[in-house]
Chain A
Amino acid sequence: MLQIFQLYVFILAGFVGFIVIQRVPPLLHTPLMSATNAISGISLVGAIVAAGGQYGKLSTILGFIAVVCAATNVVAGFLITDRMLAMFKPQKAANAKEQAEMKGAAR
């Protein structure tokens, strides 16, 4: 029963993802991929429980490795996404005005 409920969540979330992500412009496809990658680093949550639970020595070691990998995924993923998105500023402060005029003329 629990699993049927989870299947609902999965399908509905996939549906939401499909609708939202379809509208992301090609301009931002690289940040999109790094963003979804960072978000799915949420496996960290599972890794934390595996590393902290009392499941035996080997499990703790495997859990620890999982935490390291997932944390790397999350930290690197969100930082690189932010770094990329910061570059997509529409206009640089220095020639902002000039470019705005040119854009107006182009239209």
Chain B
Amino acid sequence: MERRQFGRWGAVTALTPLRRGWTPWLRLVFLFGSLTNVAAQPILRSRVIALGRWTLLPRAGKPPAMVFETNWSGAWENYIADLGRIMPWQWRSIWSGAERFPGPLPVTDLLSWVDVYDHGADHFYTGYDDTATTQNVSRALALRPRLARFIAEVDGLGPDEFGRHWRRFTTEVQGLV
């Protein structure tokens, strides 16, 4: 049984042989992806993914295999299903040349396919604190500069003035704490 859940983090390591002729297209897709984040916007906006990495594994006398590694917060079925629903053309542009890829929809077929080709992780490690999730980290990083500004802003203020600034500040950052 593949291991996919490690505390709050999920890990998928999907290894898929590619058909002949797909690699040059893939390199173009990846080049486009590294130049602009526009295609990745849905997945970044959803604040679930923490890492996505695509690597091509050379094989003697055959087209390469593609390794897709990802880490996210939450259950894998929801993650993959959500990705299938909100990023269908992105999936097709990368995986249409992968062995037996059924397409992003219906997600039932996609999940079955991922289940076959995924190897999870035999050992997983993260240097992040236990409270880390993609959402938490995103919010904590967004809070950082605001908190730094607030600390400077209230330096030396009396309690009443501090209180006024505090109310304004907590209203501003209520979505980040």
B and A form one assembly: no
Chain A contacts to B: CB under 8 angstroms: none
Interface residues of B (CB under 8 A from A): none
